[in-house]
Amino acid sequence: MKILYITTIGSTMDFFKSFIKNQLDIGNHIDIATNENDGRTKVATCYREWGCQVFHIDTSRSPISFGNIRAIKQIRDIVSNRRYNIVHCHTPLAAMATRIACKKLRKNGLKVIYTVHGFHFYTGAPLMSWLIYYPIEKWLSKYTDVLITINKEDYNRAKKNFYSSRIEYIPGVGINLEKFKYKKENGEKIRAELRINNKRTMLLSVGELNKNKNHEIVIRAIKDIPNITYVIVGRGELGARLLNVANEYNVDLKLVGYRTDVEEFYSAADVYILPSIREGLNVSLMEAMASGVACCASKIRGNEDLIDKPLFRPSSMNDVKYAIRNALDNRDDLIKDNVEKINGFRFEKINKMLNDVYSTI
């Protein structure tokens, strides 16, 4: 079976390494169409080493970029010339271009799968997101053979309102439970590197430093919590601002940038916090759960599928503070619940669910 993966930018392919390696091992042929022009958006080198061909398309994360229009013809040409059995698209703008490009090609037997990593319209979303994205996604669902949603809110909405002949709920890309597990020596190593002694509370977040990830409210919330260090793994445009806010509130904040050893940070943390305003189904929260960390998160779509408590309103500093204290006071119970629940999101289970889609489409 020949399959083409399509994403807006190349770095999104990082999430699919385990699944695609499995597909290659069972004899499927996988290629990729994406935009690698930005130095930070390259496709991981392993894909080319595995024999996947990577095609350039002009997709952009900006909805007003003409590159997304050009990508329609580029995708149509790639699919027509290579005669794929399945096109599997991810990310909203790449998915829009793909489904327009493949409308007529589906008459020749091509199947189009779209995995939604969180619709831009959701409970509490800005009105403009509903006015723009909802009608477009509803219209394009007519040209989607399988629509895969990764959280229950999106699944229920799509099932009720969209036209896709098949709508599935597959919760994320799966977690490698062997990779993400508590290892005392890893935690000690990270604490030594960051000079955080074992008597000090380490609060951890993993994610891009942007407005949606909402790290600033955590900084403001912990100003009155003694003996705590907030560590964020990730990079982004708000780094300087976060440091300024931390300095203003006298909060011990450590921004460690992009790291390839993120699993070791979970073993060092006392509490993991995800304060995002919007998520689909957050991978770092699942990694923290699997690693045996007490977690707290914003009460939004996706997060509610993963943990029951403590959840907080992402706009409420008091709620954030209470959730952190709650997590610290109930660490053992939360860790036990997390480790049990994350078993339902293990890679092997998710892999089988997606394999079933491929084999029955």
For 208-243, the DSSP string reads: -SSTTT-HHHHHHHGGGSSSEEEEEEB--TTHHHHH
Instruction: Give the pLDDT band (50/70/90) at residue 115.
Output: very high
Q: Is 71 exposed, middle or buried (0-12, 13-18, 19+ CB in 10 A)?
A: buried
**Residue 37 confidence (pLDDT) above 90:** no
Rounded Cα–Cα distance for residues 124 and 133 (Å): 14
Q: What is the pLDDT of residues 171-205, one digit of tens each?
A: 998 999 999 999 999 999 999 999 999 999 999 99
CATH of 2-174+346-360, one of 3.40.50.2000, 3.40.1130.10, 3.30.70.980, 3.40.140.10: 3.40.50.2000
Mean pLDDT across 33-58: 90
Range in 27-41, 84-98, 342-356 with the lowest mean pLDDT: 27-41
pTM listed for this prediction: 0.89
**Is 70 exceeded by the pLDDT of residue 140?**
yes
What local confidence, expressed as pLDDT, does residue 309 receive? 92
Q: Which residues contact 130 (CB under 8 A, 6 or more apart)?
A: 121
Q: pLDDT by residue (tens digit) across 266-325?
A: 999 999 999 999 999 999 999 999 999 999 999 999 999 999 999 999 999 999 999 999
Count other C-beta atoms under 10 Å from residue 220's C-beta: 17
Indicate whether 43 pLDDT > 90.
Answer: yes
Confidence at residue 298, expressed as pLDDT on a 0 to 100 scale: 98
* pLDDT-based confidence at residue 41 (cuts at 50, 70, 90): confident
pLDDT of residue 39: 59
Map out the domains of the chain as residue ranges. Answer: 2-174+346-360, 184-344
> CA 73, CA 10: separation in Å to the nearest integer?
19
pLDDT band at 40 (very low <50, low <70, confident <90, very high): low
Fold (topology level) of 184-344: Rossmann fold (3.40.50)
Reading the block at residue 120, the tokens are 């831009």
If one counts every other C-beta atom within 10 angstroms of the C-beta of residue 298, the result is 27
Torsion, CA 96, CA 101, CA 103, CA 106, rounded to 10: -110
Q: For residues 210 and 206, what is the distance between their CA atoms, to the nearest angstrom?
A: 12
First-last CA distance in the chain: 12
Span 311-359, pLDDT tens digits: 999 999 999 999 999 999 999 999 999 999 999 999 999 999 999 999 9
DSSP helix/strand/coil, 295: strand
Q: Please state the rounded mean pLDDT for residues 104-126.
A: 95
Q: Same fold for the domain at 2-174+346-360 and the one at 184-344?
A: yes
Q: Are 5 and 20 in contact (CB under 8 A)?
A: yes
Give the CA distances from residue 305 to residues 206, 282, 325, in Å, rounded to whole numbers and listed in that order: 19, 10, 22
Mean pLDDT of the chain: 95
Residue-level pLDDT at 65: 92
Task: Give the dihedral of Cα atoms 90, 21, 35, 15; nearest 10 deg.
Answer: 50
Helix (H) or strand (E) run with residue 7 in it: strand 2-9
Share of the chain above pLDDT 90, in %: 94
Of 87, 142, 94, which is closest to residue 113 (Cα–Cα)?
87
